[in-house]
Amino acid sequence: MQVYEESKTTGGLTLSDWTKKFWEWLFQLSDEVNPVTVVGPSRPWRYGGRQPTQFQKQCMQKHGESVWFIAPAPYSEPNSVIQLYIPVGNWWFLIGPAIACSSQQLYPSLDSIDKVRKHVNEDISKTNELWTIFDGFSVPWYYIDNTDSFVEIKNVPTKGSKNMLHQNLEEDTIQTLQCGYWNFIGPVEPGEHLLTIHSKSSIYRVDITYQLSVTGPANSSLT
């Protein structure tokens, strides 16, 4: 597969910066509205993950463009088709078909940055199938490596959490290393669009199709 180097800056941030924002968004969500957990009801609105966030709104207001996050949802039913409502606007789509994030707080045995780095790199190296199709066309991948130094994420929910992301946390701030394959799609015309994500490794498989309705307010009041 062909993997492209990062070159695009959107809304004042590089693609690497936006992937950090993606993980921040994901970690800060509670179990019931997190698209990568199995806690709570499996409803279309949860895949929106309470977007747009305050940061996304501010970015749109300041720069006239922003980025919408689309999660791989590894615990969805195989070949799931999810309806996702996105507001009309100059939104780029950041998609994580094969991504990894690790931390000593999640895995106490990883007692050095080198061990955490090895863990995320090994997870991604196991990827053996990967493709993303948007409106009938294959989408290129960008490999982003944020493993040189720890990336801090604050305001992570911990109380009573059963989330696989939060289950071992004692504090609401964690230090992470992140890497993986990302798709970055430019703003699209209002209307209906089809996004299909497939990735597979020895430890997980993702097969999900998003029906993106770029027509109005994001999902419902629950997003």
pLDDT of residue 41: 62
Q: What is the pLDDT of residue 222?
A: 35
Indicate whether 36 belongs to any domain: yes
What integer pLDDT is reported at residue 219 of this predicted model?
45
Question: Is residue 219 included in any domain, yes or no?
Answer: no
* CB-neighbour burial class of residue 199 (10 A; exposed 0-12, middle 13-18, buried 19+): buried
Q: Containing domain of residue 39, as a range?
A: 3-214
pLDDT attached to residue 164: 55
Residue 216: per-residue pLDDT: 65
Does residue 177 belong to any structural domain of this protein? yes
Q: Tell me, yes or no, whether 72 lies in a domain.
A: yes
**Residue 128 is assigned to a structural domain of this protein:** yes
User: Per the structure, how many domains does the chain have?
Assistant: 1
Predicted confidence at residue 117, as pLDDT, reads 97
Output b/e per residue, 115-140; b: 16+ Cβ within 10 A.
ebbebbeebbeebeebebebeeeebe
Q: What per-residue confidence (pLDDT) applies to 220?
A: 40
What is residue 185's predicted lDDT score, i.e. its pLDDT? Answer: 92
Q: Over its length of 223 residues, how does the chain's per-residue pLDDT go in tens digits? A: 445 555 667 888 999 999 999 999 998 988 778 888 766 666 667 788 889 999 999 999 999 999 999 987 766 666 678 888 899 999 999 999 999 999 988 888 999 999 999 999 999 999 999 999 999 999 988 999 999 999 999 998 876 665 555 565 778 899 999 999 999 999 999 999 999 999 999 888 888 899 999 986 654 433 3
pLDDT at 135: 96
Residue 221 lies in a domain: no
Look at residue 1 in the predicted model and tell me its pLDDT: 46
Position 58 scores a pLDDT of 95
58 lies in some domain: yes
Residue 220 lies in a domain: no
